[in-house]
Amino acid sequence: MLVYITPCNPLRYSRPLLVTRALSNIKVYDSRALVQKYSPRPISRIRSAKRITSGLGVAFSLLKLKAQAAIILNSLGVFESKLLCNIPIVLDYMDVFLKKDLRLTFYDKLAVESADAIIFWSRALMKIISSRYKIKKSCYIPQGVDLKTFNPPKIGGKLFRQKYGIKDKFIVCWSGGIWRNKKTGEDYQGSDKLPELFKLIHRELGNKVAFVVNCPKDPTLFKMFRDADINIIWVKPMKYNAPLRQSMYAAADIVVLPATTYPTVYYAERLKLFEYLASWSGIVAEKTPGVSSILRDKHNARLVPLNNTEKFAHAVTELYENRDLLEKLKRNAYTDAHQYDWSILVTKYRQFVSNTLSK
């Protein structure tokens, strides 16, 4: 039996759906439930020890399930499973946590060097890891986008504009998660730049523009919006392909993508990148290695220097004034989204896993 182990909610992270489409015989399991059931007791509160005991829970569950091979999303349980189960293990590597020197923790080093194969979601991260560690086999398969079920232009923006009473305003939208350091509150995603960015855009465009934010209601971020005296339209999180969420994207004239130098974000090809491509919206993004592997300035997006909010805002207002360029970016981005459609990625995923397991 081939199994897929994931710690992520498929309503928010749809990778298991891609995998089951690629491999019809695969069984999907929630690693959190497996860890709770099979981890040695007690699970230590020390992070390093907790990861090992949780990883053992994943390995013990594979033994219990009599798995013949496993694909594991992220590094938890990869080394332990390879050590104890003696079966092929493929690491589907979404969250690559690098230290400031771009090295992995010792635990993650064991995972990448013990896995029989690694599927990277980011070209930049694949290059870094492959150059520093002994990788047996790897390929690049990003999350991409399933244009059969997520295709905002086919939904149209009318539903969203009617629900929120937005008639003819120019919509600037950001959609994403909130990710902070639990101790310091440091923002890893770049979301804390939004209040200042929106303030600068509002200074130029006034009430011609409406700001839409689709994310969890983070107290820190929303206080910053209040302090900046910026009115936003908040759209609560919902299933990634919900009709209203797709209509939000279709209604947006511009979608913005701030970033940070936190390595896991800086080098990543984030999920929203592919949603943005498919939205038929103008994309304005801060330039990072991860972003630059997908977006090209003045082709399918406007790329601006990292941590320069004034240039970020200027790029948005420039597209407001230059509608020909805006339409060009929208059209090219939507065309490029088809390069990352699941119809292509599913085949690539199936071939890579099949070739790995046949050897």
Cβ atoms of 77 and 57 within 8 Å: the answer is yes
Residue 43 scores a pLDDT above 60: no
pLDDT tens per residue across span 209-259? 999 999 999 999 999 999 999 999 999 999 999 999 999 999 999 999 999
* Second-level CATH architecture of 2-144+341-357: 3-Layer(aba) Sandwich (3.40)
- Would you list the DSSP string of 27-78? EEEEHHHHHHHHS-SSPPSSHHHHHHHHHHHHHHHHHHHT-SEEEEESSTTH
- pLDDT band of residue 117 (cuts 50, 70, 90) is very high
Q: Give pLDDT, residue 10.
A: 64
What does DSSP assign to residue 301?
B
**Contact (Cβ atoms closer than 8 angstroms) between residue 57 and residue 34:** yes
Evaluate whether 215 touches 272 at the Cβ level (below 8 Å). no
pLDDT tens per residue, range 258-311: 999 999 999 999 999 999 999 999 999 999 999 999 999 999 999 999 999 999
| In the predicted structure, residue 147 carries a pLDDT above the cut 90 | yes
Distance CA 42, CA 61 (A): 17
Phi-psi map region of 120: left, alpha, beta (phi>0 left; psi -120 to 50 alpha): beta
pLDDT in tens, 149-187: 999 999 999 999 999 999 899 999 999 999 999 999 999
Specify the long-range contacts of residues 217-221, CB closer than 8 Å, at least 24 apart. Answer: 218/178, 218/180, 218/191, 220/180, 220/185, 220/192, 221/178, 221/191, 221/192, 221/194, 221/195
Residue 36 has pLDDT above 90, yes or no: no
Q: Give the model's pLDDT for residue 59.
A: 93
Token pair recorded at residue 24: 């019809």
Please report, as a single letter, which amino acid is at residue 6. Answer: T
Looking at 2.30.40.10, 3.40.50.2000, 3.30.420.10, 1.10.150.120, the CATH number of the domain 152-339 comes to: 3.40.50.2000
pLDDT score recorded for residue 287 = 98
Q: What is the pLDDT of residue 37?
A: 76
**What residue ranges of the chain are covered by domains with CATH 3.40.50.2000?**
2-144+341-357, 152-339
Residue type, 252: A
pLDDT at 341 over 60: yes
Tell me phi and psi for residue 286, to 5 degrees: -75, 140
**Radius of gyration over alpha carbons of the chain, in Å?**
21
Mean pLDDT of 75-100: 95
User: Sign of dihedral through CA atoms 326, 328, 333, 338?
Assistant: positive
Average pLDDT, the chain: 94
- Is pLDDT at 34 greater than 90 in this prediction? no
By DSSP bridging, strand 209-214 and strand 233-235 are: parallel
**For the residues 192-202, what does the mean pLDDT come to?**
98
Predicted local distance difference test score (pLDDT) of residue 249: 98
> What is the pLDDT at residue 40?
66
Give 19's contacts (C-beta < 8 A, 6+ positions apart). Answer: 4, 26, 28, 71, 92, 349
Ramachandran angles phi, psi of 212, nearest 5°: -115, 130
As a whole number of angstroms, the distance between CA 39 and CA 19 comes to 26
